[in-house]
Amino acid sequence: MVLGDDRPAGPDPGRTVRAEVIRQLLLGACEPREGYVPAVRLTGAYIIGRLDVSGGTVEHELRLEHCRLVEQPDFSNARTRQLRLSDCRMPGFDGGGLHADGYLSLSRSVIDGEVRLPRAQLMGGLRMMRTVITETDPAKWAVFSGGMVVEVGAFIRDAQITGGMRLVGARMNGGLFMEGTALRNPGRLALDAQNMIVEDTAEFSKGFTALGTVRLRSARVNGILSFSKAVLDSGDPGRMALHASHLHADELILWPQRRIEGRVSLSYSRIGLIMDDPSIWPDELYLNGLVYDSLRGGTFRDRLNWVNRDKQFHLQPYEQLAAWYHGIGHDDLARKVQLAKLRTRRRHLANPIGKAWGYLLDWTVGYGYRPWLAFGWFAVLVTLGTAVFSADKPQPIKPPDERPDYHAFVYTLDLLIPIDTFGQQQAFDPSGWSRWVAYALVATGWILATALIAGVTRVLRPS
């Protein structure tokens, strides 16, 4: 049955239709006519009363366009075909437990209240293109769902949603597309999509704006998760702008329009490819436990700065970054990451002895990742000792027939090397001020040898 074949520009109070009449038509008050597809289609109607088909089975398509619903329609626990309430105005929508064999469309509608879709199953998809939803009650959500299943795809493009959107446990089997949509709930959750599963693509891009926290904890995206040209602003510097810990995604594009305002967590997530840019990173990143296969964007220095932004020191982000550089054949950069890890760890040590030992290992052998430093120090000390003991020769302490010929260079080597190698140290003894130089060289030789052994042992120790 078709009511209102002409199409006025908007709802007209003079074209009033009682919701009870629509309900009866949807539930089969009229016998279907052969050769016609049963449907209820209204354009420009002013609908009074509550359109309540909760728990019912609707065999007809419902299409309301440019209508004004005075009360919130109730489709909770109903089984319907296609539902299209586009360009309408209503004080909310209740579709909790709704099973729609077709799609649910609220496109271009203005909704002053909560849209409820917990446990809804939308076999033909969800369409909320340019929809405006406003929920001012802080105890409610603008869009509330849990365990919702959407086949074909959820298209929520260019929408304006104030009051937060909840998609906890949702399953989007045809992808989630929110390009150009603005979610406004500053200082609170703009989007709560914990445990959400998205097949194909999750697009929070091309002007997507979230004023409030986007929470994707334990979500799984079997495809691309994109924040390209988006805006992420928590509304409070102390809050998370993007909470994506324990996330699984094939690819993450974290490349918003401008710097992220608020903290970002990718802790314990598993991501195939991360594409981001240093200019958008916030001051605080949580990367402990993050595992990835590849990185795109930023230089080596940028990546070191990336892992350093976690205020709580953890070894794993450095180990993961070093493993990635090693995997792509940059062993030199992998060693630099390991060295940066140990230097950062030293800064967080409370024990002054441990810090001092760390500085010694760093200056002498670069914690074992720069062993050439030890040879550099050794060369400087040999040069110094040779000059000193050439100017002030030590006195012989053995008879001429039992001692080797004196050489300042060889004598210095004998002092620096912890074992008596050339017999010079046992045959000659310095005196006066040069004796203190000899003592210093012996002590320095032991320190260099100990540091070199400790550093190399650290590097060669299996993980």
Q: What is the pLDDT of residues 188-243, one digit of tens each?
A: 999 999 999 999 899 999 999 999 999 999 999 999 999 999 999 998 888 999 99
Distances from the Cα of 169 to the Cαs of 146, 147, 194, 258, in angstroms? 6, 5, 6, 30
Per the listing, tokens 């060669």 go with: 460
pLDDT at 29: 61
Element spanning 84, H or E: strand 83-86
pLDDT at 354: 60
pLDDT at 168: 97
Angle in degrees, CA 299, 285, 296, rounded to 5? 30
Helix (H, G, I), strand (E, B) or coil at 111: strand
The one-character DSSP state at 102 is: S
Instruction: Report the C-alpha gap between 258 and 387 in whole angstroms.
Output: 60
CA atoms within a 13 Å half-sphere pointing along the CA-CB vector of 106: 29
CA atoms within a 13 Å half-sphere pointing along the CA-CB vector of 278: 12
Helix-, strand-, coil-residue percentages of the chain, each rounded to 5: 30, 30, 45
Instruction: Report the C-alpha gap between 426 and 423 in whole angstroms.
Output: 6
pLDDT at 460: 43
**158-182: burial string, b at 16+ Cβ within 10 Å, e else:** bbbbbbbbbbbbbbbbbbbbbbbbb
Q: Which residues contact 119 (CB under 8 A, 6 or more apart)?
A: 96, 97, 145, 146, 147, 148
Rounded to the nearest 5°, which phi and psi values hold at 296?
-135, 135
Q: Which of 139, 60, 125, 134 is nearest to 93 (CA)?
A: 134
Sign of CA dihedral 72, 123, 152, 212: positive
Q: Are 323 and 334 in contact (CB under 8 A)?
A: yes
pLDDT at 2: 41
Which regions of the chain are under pLDDT 50?
1-8, 459-463
pLDDT at 6: 43
Instruction: Report the C-alpha gap between 207 and 212 in whole angstroms.
Output: 15
pLDDT at 450: 63
β strands within 95-139, DSSP E: 99-100, 104-105, 110-111, 115-116, 121-122, 126-127, 132-134
Q: pLDDT digit string (tens) for 409-446?
A: 777 777 767 776 666 666 777 877 777 777 777 776 66
